[in-house]
Structure 1
């Protein structure tokens, strides 16, 4: 059996089974959460390579920014405050020094934008440009937002608008120069750090993760840790906040704006569930950050992920980005 036969998440489960006693500490969440007094120290790592993430159109600064932003997004999804980022670079020996300098500057700019800094790292020769970022954060135990915790009749919500990164990917891959401005959402994601902290402190959130893999794929991931897969999610099509960027490109490709919102990865918004009676508390917390909360559906008790369209409920396919199965981002 090869990795392409099972995909990233099944491969991770297979690895965890080989960790022995250490597997008891693995929760499948966005971050490892290490108890420390009344808080958790959060640790998360993410790797990007030339083949899977670094498009030729990306500037070195954008590569650096991206490598930090995606790890900070995991910290944000747990309600954490970033404490620092370490970066490991692997690059061919003929790489221009200026490229590495600009990449480091982009990484530093991203970290500073979210109240933290690059605090260390490593560099090695490698045949392909590779960057691995590890972010460290902290959150009070009472504010930690796990993936597990959703209950039937909780409301299903997202921050911001969806489909921007998918639209950016189409703009870049299609070679349409007048759409290149759309690529910023893809190459320079904005992790919802302050929004995550605000939601955590509101006490309204029952489960949370980021949307790096797309809405549909993320919902299928969220089923597993909730009530042993008995909890499901119903999304109302008319409520999905489709970005204007996704609408702009829908007539130029085979996908609709809604397709980009549901099935394209890279948005790095937050997907979360809230108690009905705490909805306005959560909405107010996000509003204080200048961010909109959109209720897109509800939590069900049937273990299914479905889409409600004109009163008819259909299964939402598990589509989105997954390593070893999907094409390069």
Structure 2
């Protein structure tokens, strides 16, 4: 069973609508608060050779990316560190602080424990006006499908293309772009941390329409053969770009570099070049 299957189990205990987005949505006066939590482990999430500073940066960036995907401005980040060696703590905390400072958040606390494997849980809070909140649900036939940045760079680095190592180890959450897209009125949005194909299927699960992309339009990692680059862009994880749908009348959105890769269709399916796109990407799985 994979993590999406376990999400369905959680949906029998918690209102499934609460689980449909990158962040929980909580009314907060005249604004909406968004809240998210991410857990990262050394053996599965931190590539070999990362510095402790980069580990702290990445642990924070993945959470800020979730906040950005809702169109929200980041507020506070808390970091719970299951620490294997105490001398690592300073670098981790400084990396987390620097990521917060770069993207307009504040590192405000967390928890600390001894652990046999370095494990970090980052929790992020953000705020947005209700009219600018963007959810995964809301795509409409005729919308364009677009992405920020380049896809497949993190996976390219893991595949030995060292020119993309910085993108792997120091991801840049699209905080500014997410807020601009929310104000512009995009109809649906999420981040692409688990790969484009899987993200499109995640959108399919909560919308009453489908998604058709043209792989010739994908922004591919430089220095990678085209066929391999296309596979990395479709199925590779760790990019933390934004995938969004928008009425064609508002695209391009001023201030956001993004590329149209397809359109929303009436049929509830995910297509690439007219053929069904495999539901595949970065997934935590359990045997048995």
Pair in the same fold by TM > 0.5: yes
Matched position secondary structure for 1:86: strand
Alignment of 1:44-55 (within 5 A): 44-55=36-47
Identify unmatched segments of 5+ residues in structure 2: none
Is the partner of 2:56 in helix, strand or coil? helix
Q: Which moved more, 1:154-163 or 1:131-140?
A: 154-163
Q: Does 1:160 align with 2:149?
A: yes
2:18 counterpart of 1:37:
no
Matches within 5 A, 1:1-329: 6-19=1-14, 23=15, 26-92=18-84, 95-97=85-87, 99-171=88-160, 179-203=161-185, 205-227=186-208, 231-244=209-222, 248-250=223-225, 256-280=228-252, 282=253, 284-286=254-256, 292-308=257-273, 313-324=274-285
Alpha-carbon distance in structure 2 between the residues aligned to 1:161 and 1:54: 21
Decide whether the 8 Å contact of 2:156 with 2:221 is kept in 1.
Answer: no
Deviations 1:143-197 (A, max 9, x none): 00100000111110111111111111112xxxxxxx4342111111100000001
Instruction: Give the conservation status (yes or no) of the 8 Å contact 1:46–1:132.
Output: yes
- What displacement does 1:15 show? 2.0
Give the structure-1-normalised TM-score.
0.84
CA contact (8 A) 2:73 2:127 kept: yes
CA contact (8 A) 2:81 2:120 kept: yes
The offset of 1:100, in angstroms, is 1.2
User: Are 1:242 and 1:261, in contact at CA under 8 Å, matched by a contact in 2?
Assistant: yes
Q: Secondary structure at the match of 2:233?
A: helix
Partners of 1:243 and 1:163 in 2: CA distance:
6
- In 1, the alpha carbon distance for the partners of 2:86 and 2:47 equals 17
Contact between 2:11 and 2:19, CA under 8 Å: does it hold in 1? no
Question: 1:52 is paired with a residue of what secondary structure?
Answer: helix
C-alpha distance in structure 1 between counterparts of 2:50 and 2:152, whole Å: 19
In the alignment, which residue of structure 2 is the partner of 1:175? none
Is the 1:199–1:285 contact (alpha carbons within 8 Å) kept by the matching residues of 2? no
Q: Deviations over 1:283-307 (max 9, x none)?
A: x141xxxxx2111000011111111
Which structure has the greater CA radius of gyration?
1
TM-score scaled by structure 2? 0.95
Superposition deviation, residue 25 in structure 1:
5.9
Deviation at 1:8, TM superposition (A): 0.4
Give the whole-Å Cα distance in 1 for the aligned partners of 2:16 and 2:190.
21
Partner-residue secondary structure (3-state), 2:159: helix
- Size of the aligned set, in residue pairs, is 287
Deviation per residue, 1:13-41 (Å, 9 max, x gap): 2023134xxx2661420001101233111
Unaligned runs of 5+ in 1: 1-5, 172-178, 287-291
Task: Provide the aligned C-alpha RMSD in A.
Answer: 1.6
